[in-house]
Chains A and B, each alone.
Chain A
Amino acid sequence: MTYRNVVFSSVLAASTAILLLAQAPAAGQNNGTFRRTPDGEPDITGIYDARTATPVERPKALGSKEFYTDEEFKAVSERLHKGDPTAPGVREVRGGGGAGGGGGGRDGNRVSVQYEKDILGYDVSKSNYVATKRTSLVVGPDGVIPPTLPEARQRNAARAAFTREHELDRVQNMNLETRCILSARQQIPLFPIEDSNTHIQIVQGKGWVAIYQELNHDVRVIPTDGRPHLPKQIRQYQGDSVGHWEDNTLVVDTTNFNDQTAFMGSSENLHLVERYTRVSDDMLLYRFTVEDPHTWDKPWTVEVPWMKANEQQLYEYACTEGNESIGIILAGARAKEAAEAAKTTK
């Protein structure tokens, strides 16, 4: 397993990246850096790093302010580079995957997981993850993920209760990440991940776009020939993705999720639309909208900057091949039960 820590680059490089971002146009605009593949399609190929310092949800104090002014952005960037722990996003690591969480976000608590970065060996002042002038990744005046509907809360509470009670009864009850089936950090749509394996490679052949995530070697090969979705009875962990080009933007529509991969507590009716737009030589804007009438009362949208990575290739991430922990955890649970049974018979 490749464990790629943050690539520490110089403060100078980080500042450069931030400056570049400050000049980046809004999604969908063509600023002249647009290019085509030799086959004549818009070219979004490359290796990207999806880390960002922008928080998912807007800090309350900012109200409905969607963008920092140039002045404010400069100040925020400086605080970031100085390692100010109160700077936006610095203490937040997204993606869940912590003990008891994950499970493809089945409990709907994915975003709340936070780690102390210094424990993981991060030096914030030297990291090159970046921010845009957006005050939150969630787009719009609210800047927060809408609350889930009562129906969804009930559904997720029932799952959480079952997990608390029965998670260690058998491997099939454990979360999908532990089982190397689908990590909460690899499931689509892609929130930024910041602890490891943050790289994503896009390769294009005529009529197809392959999006390869290093984390647990996930690859989606998306047709762009206008074909319809798979029949409804074929459900998949990562759904079924079909794409098309709108000007220079790859638009990917995904449905047919199964009922295991709840995204932020969503149901199998999740409908995801992702938009990939190259906005400069160094940046691809990744924008997604999720809707699910069984989970939220309205769709919501997130925009994440993906920066061109320094890496020349992705590295292999094997998972199930080295998964010793499941056997240890289950054996521990059985031993505990046996000990408790022995106590009661005494």
Chain B
Amino acid sequence: MRNRFRLAIIATSTALTTLILSAVPAAAQAPYRAPRTGTGKPDLNGIWQALNTADWDLEGHTARNGPVPMLGAVFAEPPGLSVVEGGTIPYLPEAAKKRKENRENWVKLDPEVKCFLPGVPRAAYLPYPFQIVQDNDNILIAYEYQNAVRVINMKAPTKSPADTWMGWSNGHWEGDTLVVDVTSFNDSTWFDHAGNFHSDALHVVESYTPRSADTLNYEATIEDPKTFSAPWKISMPLYRRVEKDARLLEYRCPEFAEELLWGDLSKKSGKKEPSK
């Protein structure tokens, strides 16, 4: 009985709160204004990390078995909501077929399994932190995964001399938002484990918008006329790693892919490292 009474109170107060909140004037919901660096620009310095399952599948997905039965529930695929605006990615028919093939063979084909550079936007929502280091002319982003790094040029835009894994990044500020135009990709990175992919015509426009002291809103508009029928957009919050001693650690992952890639070429009786 007492429980039910308490529930009733909670319900009433929730309703009241809702009423009060909806009565708050628009001014109180003005966009968050970020602290400034010495240059007067919004301060994005910090260690950030996505907290979602986009690296498994950008689109909405239910939990499912992982690829290694031995690892049981530890490496099963976690469920997640879509981070794609509108829910699904607008593939061209041929590309949709390829995505299906990719998905069926992802363990073999996903470049992350081999510890390859992740590309953009995937680098932002890998399950590892990254750090923004911001000075006047350049914004460096260091990713824990594979020591990947980008320097976003904040001066007059420049052109890449060649295609790359991490793209060629030119940035500018639009109000409090850092907008980064990324071009010159190769066709070898993926967006997730679910086989979502692109061609070398990929063009990504990222935006990083401070939304509170410890969160950013991250968006990426993805355009690739060889693969998609229209541009599409992903959106997610990024969270500051607020631990006192937070920092990037080493994740030099080539060594973790070696047995997979070349284990079958080992000498059958080959000795291991010398014992110390």
Contact B45 A227 (CB under 8 A): no
Stretch touching chain A among B66-74, B99-107, B142-150: B142-150
Does chain B have a CB within 8 A of A11?
no
Residue of B nearest to A172 (CB): B258
How many angstroms from the CA of A206 to the CA of B262 in the assembled complex? Answer: 43
Stretch touching chain A among B53-61, B219-227, B249-257: B249-257
Does chain B have a CB within 8 A of A201?
yes
Residues from chain B with a CB closer than 8 A to the CB of A233 are: none
Q: Which residues 311-337 in A have Cβ within 8 Å of B in the complex?
A: 312-316, 318-321, 323, 326-327, 330-331, 333-334, 337
How many angstroms from the CA of A169 to the CA of B254 in the assembled complex? Answer: 18
Contact B149 A330 (CB under 8 A): no
Given contacts A37-B38, A172-B258, A327-B265, contact A212 B140 (CB under 8 A): yes
Does chain B have a CB within 8 A of A27?
no
A205 is contacted by which of B135, B146, B148 (Cβ under 8 Å)?
B135
Does chain B have a CB within 8 A of A32?
no
A245 to chain B, nearest CB (A): 15
Given contacts A38-B39, A217-B149, contact A210 B272 (CB under 8 A): no
Give how many A-B residue pairs fall within 8 Å (CB-CB): 158
Does chain B have a CB within 8 A of A121?
no
B269 to chain A, nearest CB (A): 8
A342 to chain B, nearest CB (A): 16
Contact A212 B149 (CB under 8 A): yes
Residues from chain B with a CB closer than 8 A to the CB of A217 are: 147-149
Q: Which residues 156-185 in A have Cβ within 8 Å of B in the complex?
A: 158-159, 162, 166, 168-173, 179-182
* Highest count of chain B CB atoms <10 Å: which of A162, A169, A237: A169
Residues from chain B with a CB closer than 8 A to the CB of A330 are: 262, 265-266
Contact B115 A203 (CB under 8 A): no
Instruction: Tell me if B's interface is mostly helix, strand, loop or mixed.
Output: loop
Q: Which residues 111-142 in B have Cβ within 8 Å of A in the complex?
A: 111, 114-117, 131-140, 142
Does chain B have a CB within 8 A of A77?
no
Residues from chain A with a CB closer than 8 A to the CB of B272 are: 170, 172
Residue of B nearest to A161 (CB): B274
How many angstroms from the CA of A173 to the CA of B255 in the assembled complex? Answer: 11
Residues from chain A with a CB closer than 8 A to the CB of B11 are: none
Residues from chain B with a CB closer than 8 A to the CB of A334 are: 265, 267
Given contacts A169-B271, A206-B37, A327-B265, contact A221 B135 (CB under 8 A): no
A47 to chain B, nearest CB (A): 9
Residues from chain A with a CB closer than 8 A to the CB of B37 are: 38-39, 205-206
Does chain B have a CB within 8 A of A282?
no
A331 is contacted by which of B188, B265, B273 (Cβ under 8 Å)?
B265
A238 to chain B, nearest CB (A): 7
Residue of A nearest to B250 (CB): A236
Does chain A have a CB within 8 A of B232?
no
Residues from chain B with a CB closer than 8 A to the CB of A320 are: 114-116, 146, 254, 257
Contact B258 A237 (CB under 8 A): no
Contact B131 A208 (CB under 8 A): yes
Contact B140 A210 (CB under 8 A): yes
Number of B residues with CB within 8 Å of any CB on chain A: 58
Residues from chain B with a CB closer than 8 A to the CB of A269 are: none
* Highest count of chain B CB atoms <10 Å: which of A179, A180, A210, A234: A210
B151 is contacted by which of A158, A180, A212, A319 (Cβ under 8 Å)?
A212
Contact B166 A316 (CB under 8 A): yes
| Apart from A37-B38, A181-B255, A236-B249: 11 A-B pairs, beta carbons within 8 A | A37-B135, A38-B38, A206-B45, A210-B142, A219-B147, A219-B149, A237-B252, A327-B262, A327-B265, A330-B265, A334-B265
Please name the 10 residue pairs, one residue from A and one from B, whose CB atoms are nearest each other, closest first.
Answer: A38-B38, A169-B270, A330-B265, A170-B266, A39-B38, A205-B45, A203-B140, A205-B133, A169-B267, A320-B254
Chain B residues proximal to chain A, CB less than 8 Å: 37-40, 43, 45, 111, 114-117, 131-140, 142, 146-149, 151, 153, 158, 161-162, 164-166, 188, 245, 247-250, 252, 254-255, 257-259, 261-263, 265-267, 270-274, 276
Chain A residues proximal to chain B, CB less than 8 Å: 2, 37-40, 45, 158-159, 162, 166, 168-173, 179-182, 201, 203-210, 212, 216-219, 221, 223, 227, 230, 234, 236-238, 259, 312-316, 318-321, 323, 326-327, 330-331, 333-334, 337
